[in-house]
A and B are shown apart, each in its own frame.
Chain A
Amino acid sequence: MNKKKKFQMKSKHLLVLMTFLCISAILLTFTQVVSVSPLREAASRVIVPFQNGINQVGSWMSGKLEAFQDMEQLAAKNQELEDKVAQLTEENTRLSQNQNELERLQELYQLDQSYSEYDKVAAQVISKDPGNWYDTFVINKGSADGIQKDMNVISGGGLVGLVVEVETHCATVRSIIDDSSSVSAMTVSTSDTCVVSGDLRLMTEGKLAFAQMSAENTVAVGEQIVTSNISDKYLRGILIGYISEATEDSNHLTYTGYITPAVDFAHIQEVLVIKQLKQTEGE
């Protein structure tokens, strides 16, 4: 208490001072005069171990819960899965035949390698944006694991987002359903390009919006949408989702509509980061 007596500032003045401080910080980082990455780095070193810990406790608990499930239920599940294995094995042989054919055709067309061949790093989601306005999250791998800014993040075969910040042991990912995100995309069958953007109003429904689809024919519902080759950050050919609704714009040239993403954004826990940057692709 003695310390405070020495220098007592009125709260009003303190407010003005701190406001000035904050606004100058905003301006400085906005104009990119000063970088806050050392601060971010330091803070992440303190926070990330805790978040990792909480996450491990969480997954341990859900693991225990699963262990308590009824035996019968598990047996039934097992039976069901075995049936599925048989079914899938059959399907697999059929698909591998198709794969051979595809490879042959790809060689023929000299297509780029698909994203399944890129080097990837698995990472866990350890925390999410505290507010409800944006959809960004932190993963537990950082520059120490070879992650760089602008790397693509996928999960379960679909595009999740883009790495926007990298610390030594963690990285921030902005998902494609985030309101400030937009991705240049195209349809698989006709290569009609469009812009897929996140929209906060659609976030609860788990949908994405697309616009400026310049199609000559009618856009079909259920059409696959992948990242296009003209995007500057996203690698080409990564699955985004399927068209669930499409309407023609009033200019009769372009289409607008909604996409159901391939990824379940509400329950992302593990993601893969593709260690291939778009810029280096051409080199």
Chain B
Amino acid sequence: MRRKIVLAVLILVTFLLQTTVFQFLSIASVAPNLLLVLTSSFGLMRGKKEGLWVGFFCGLAIDLFYGNLFGFYALLYMYMGYMSGLFCKVFYDEDIKVPMVLIAASDLVYSLLVYVLQFLLRVRLDFYSYLKHIILPEMVYTMILSLIVYRLLFKINQKLTEYEMEGQQSPWLRR
């Protein structure tokens, strides 16, 4: 239960930061994708199912406010979380490099999917230009940001696991 509350708060906070603060921190009108960092990190740290749920709710939040097709982002983020979860057993480590690469890769895949599903289908064929102006800058920015955010999420996850192991009444865990 506590885990769920913490996750809900995390998703909410990330969404708020993403839509307010980070939009104003954007460089050359490209902002990092914090929600994807959250999704991928939890997928990597806690497995497929957790990644799936976190991704689903992150996407749902976007759908509720900005999506024109309800369920599209939920589906996309859900798959990103699930995919990250596939690497859970293989790579899970305190080392920052693997999650960084994974987050960058998932951002790349995510951007490509958005391009193909929402732009290519509207016959916007100039892929190279989109790659140069949106996809790659977003990937780099997100990757750099994940250096900080992943550590933070890792700590939170550690605390969560500790509390779960203890399995006893303790004060509410908050960020």
Does B33 count as interface, using CB distance less than 8 angstroms?
Answer: yes
Nearest chain A CB to B40 CB, angstrom units = 15
Known pairs A25-B71, A40-B64; A132 contacts B30 (CB<8 A) = yes
Q: Are B71 and A29 within 8 A (Cβ)?
A: yes
- Could you give 30 example pairs across A and B, Cβ below 8 Å? A1-B167, A11-B47, A11-B85, A15-B82, A19-B75, A25-B70, A25-B71, A26-B70, A28-B70, A29-B70, A44-B64, A54-B16, A58-B20, A58-B21, A58-B24, A127-B20, A127-B23, A130-B31, A130-B35, A130-B62, A131-B62, A131-B66, A131-B114, A132-B134, A133-B119, A133-B134, A138-B65, A200-B124, A200-B133, A200-B134
Does A30 count as interface, using CB distance less than 8 angstroms?
Answer: yes
Count, chain B residues at interface, CB 8 A:
51
Choose among A15, A23, A43 the residue that contacts B64 (Cβ–Cβ < 8 A).
Answer: A43
Does A18 count as interface, using CB distance less than 8 angstroms?
Answer: yes
Q: Are B64 and A39 within 8 A (Cβ)?
A: yes
Does A172 count as interface, using CB distance less than 8 angstroms?
Answer: yes
Q: Are A15 and B52 within 8 A (Cβ)?
A: yes
B50's nearest neighbour on chain A, judged by CB, is: A11
Q: Are A14 and B52 within 8 A (Cβ)?
A: yes
Interface SS of chain A: helix
Q: How many A-B residue pairs have CB under 8 A?
A: 132
List the B side residues contacting A50 at CB < 8 Å: 12, 16
Does A195 count as interface, using CB distance less than 8 angstroms?
Answer: no
Does B154 count as interface, using CB distance less than 8 angstroms?
Answer: no
- Residue numbers of A with Cβ under 8 A of B are 1, 11, 14-15, 18-19, 21-26, 28-30, 36, 39-40, 43-44, 47, 50-51, 54-55, 58, 126-134, 136, 138, 172, 179-180, 200-201, 203-204, 266
A50's nearest neighbour on chain B, judged by CB, is: B16
List the B side residues contacting A266 at CB < 8 Å: 29
Nearest chain B CB to A171 CB, angstrom units = 11
Q: Are A179 and B119 within 8 A (Cβ)?
A: yes
List the A side residues contacting B49 at CB < 8 Å: 11, 14
